[in-house]
């Protein structure tokens, strides 16, 4: 009788083809095979059409699914064994398809859609989940995961199953103990969890890169804005200096015109540009004339001009100092009998910020009659030294310094 199977001399397993024998050898490292006249069983479950190739495999299927009815189709599938080497790229599904009727329509089997969605959410492909549900008889999520564990190394595990009207043959896989099955299930869950964590980490890295990019763009925009602000300030200062230069030129021209007008009124000829200054002899003669001492008003004007020159880079602060001095002088002039207006604490923070910190501020008050007392802690104007004329002159000079835009320019 011709041989219908290959028998493993190491474990006694029956195999349908040379290809199955090669797969068995790769899985078990067995190498002792011989041709046998004993056929491989083909027990087909009547409930789900799952083929079982041994009594042990049918018992395991019954334990998992509860299906007990099987049809023995061994005689229909048995054929002489071919000892030729399998073609490259051939699969178990190809050999099964070759035995089926070529005119028979192949369709995707119907499976439980809800369980299919749960399997896909665990990270399994639609083809693998569909195949697992079909061959586990749609018995539930746990049965499908168990089937995936047992057939994880199948070459066609991720191919969508196509079944004919009657049956679909699957290559058997070695059964697993309950402990091994539980370990495999845990491994699959752990793999799905790690895959999800890796995806979350990748998404977080992308978000971090985007945050860094946006931060760099904001810093660059801020730097450009600061550069533009510096350029604007430099242009403003340049314009102010140019305006100051024009003001000086205008004042100088006005002085020249006034000088020419005085010479014209005195009947003197116009001054030639090449005329030199008076000789030292003339100046020596003038030195014998009595020199008129500077008045209080002139001293005040010179003090204010010096104050503005010393702090010309901060015009707003100078103007505030002039207004503060005008307030002090005005309070004394309106209320000369009130001591609180005639006494100023030099350590007062407001006074220091407005007047004391500016060179010339305290000197102006001393010209008005204020004196330092108590070791220099206070400025005090005694009642008997209040001179209304001096205070009025001080007010006039301060008012002129505040309103005249060219005050202190020259």
Q: Which residues pair with 7 in a beta bridge?
A: 14, 34
pLDDT reported for residue 215? 92
pLDDT reported for residue 273? 62
- Token pair in block for residue 383: 């009642």
pTM over 0.95: no
Q: Distance between terminal CA atoms of the chain? A: 132
Strand 51-52 relative to strand 43-45, pairing: antiparallel
Strand residue runs (E) in 5-144: 5-8, 14-15, 33-36, 43-45, 51-52, 70-72
Q: What is the pLDDT of residues 99-157, one digit of tens each?
A: 444 455 678 888 888 888 888 888 888 888 898 888 888 778 888 888 888 888 788 88
Determine the distance from the C-alpha atom of residue 201 to the mean position of all C-alpha atoms in its chain, rounded to a whole number.
16
CA gap 24, 177 in Å, rounded: 19
- b/e per residue 29-54 (b: at least 16 CB within 10 A): eeeebeebeebbbbbbbeebbbbbbe
CA gap 355, 312 in Å, rounded: 15
CA gap 218, 235 in Å, rounded: 26
Strand 378-380 relative to strand 43-45, pairing: unpaired
Q: Check: CB of residue 374 under 8 Å from CB of residue 367.
A: no
Domain 295-403 listed as CATH 1.20.58.2190? yes
Q: Which ranges of the chain have pLDDT less than 50?
A: 88-93, 95-102, 167-175, 275-276, 281-289
Q: Check: CB of residue 88 under 8 Å from CB of residue 145.
A: no
pLDDT reported for residue 172? 40
Q: What is the DSSP string of 12-34?
A: --EESSHHHHHHHHHHH----EE
pLDDT reported for residue 224? 93
Among residues 89, 74, 185, which one has the least CA distance to residue 132?
A: 185
pLDDT reported for residue 211? 92
pLDDT reported for residue 287? 44
- Token pair in block for residue 74: 């061994």
pLDDT reported for residue 100? 44
Helix (H) / strand (E) containing 372: strand 371-373
């Amino acid at each position: 009788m011709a041989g219908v199977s290959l028998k493993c001399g190491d474990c006694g397993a029956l195999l349908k083809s040379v290809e199955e024998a090669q797969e068995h050898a790769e899985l078990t490292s067995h190498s002792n095979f011989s041709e046998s006249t004993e056929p491989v069983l083909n027990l087909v479950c009547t409930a789900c059409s799952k083929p079982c190739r041994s009594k042990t495999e049918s018992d395991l299927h019954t334990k998992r699914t509860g299906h007990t009815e099987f049809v023995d189709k061994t005689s229909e599938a048995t054929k002489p064994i071919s000892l030729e080497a399998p073609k490259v790229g051939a699969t178990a599904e190809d050999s099964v398809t070759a035995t089926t009727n070529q005119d028979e329509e192949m369709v995707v089997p119907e499976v439980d859609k809800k369980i299919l969605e749960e399997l896909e959410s665990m990270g399994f492909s639609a083809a693998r989940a569909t195949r697992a549900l079909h061959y586990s008889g749609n018995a539930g999520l746990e049965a499908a995961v168990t089937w995936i564990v047992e057939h994880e190394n199948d070459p066609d595990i991720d191919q969508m199953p196509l079944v004919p009207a009657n049956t679909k043959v699957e290559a058997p896989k070695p059964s697993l103990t309950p402990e091994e099955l539980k370990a495999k299930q845990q491994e699959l869950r752990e793999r799905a969890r790690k895959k999800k964590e890796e995806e979350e980490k990748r998404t977080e890295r992308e978000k971090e890169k985007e945050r860094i990019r946006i931060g760099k763009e904001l810093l660059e925009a801020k730097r450009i804005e600061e550069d533009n602000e510096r350029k604007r300030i430099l242009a403003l200062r340049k314009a102010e200096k140019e305006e100051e230069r024009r003001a000086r030129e205008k004042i100088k021209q006005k002085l020249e015109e006034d000088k020419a007008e005085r010479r014209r009124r005195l009947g003197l000829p116009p001054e030639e540009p090449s005329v030199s200054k008076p000789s030292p002899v003339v100046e020596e003669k003038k030195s014998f004339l009595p020199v008129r001492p500077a008045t209080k008003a002139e001293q005040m004007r010179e003090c204010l001009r010096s104050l503005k020159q010393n702090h010309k880079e901060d015009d707003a602060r100078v103007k505030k100092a002039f207004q503060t001095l005008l307030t002090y002088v005005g309070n004394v002039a309106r209320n000369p009998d009130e001591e609180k207006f005639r006494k100023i604490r030099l350590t007062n923070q407001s006074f220091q910020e407005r007047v004391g910190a500016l060179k010339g501020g305290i000197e102006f008050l001393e010209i008005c009659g204020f004196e330092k007392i108590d070791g220099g802690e206070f400025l005090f104007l005694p009642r008997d030294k209040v001179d209304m004329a001096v205070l009025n002159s001080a007010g006039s000079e301060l008012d002129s310094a505040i309103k005249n835009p060219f005050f202190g320019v020259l």
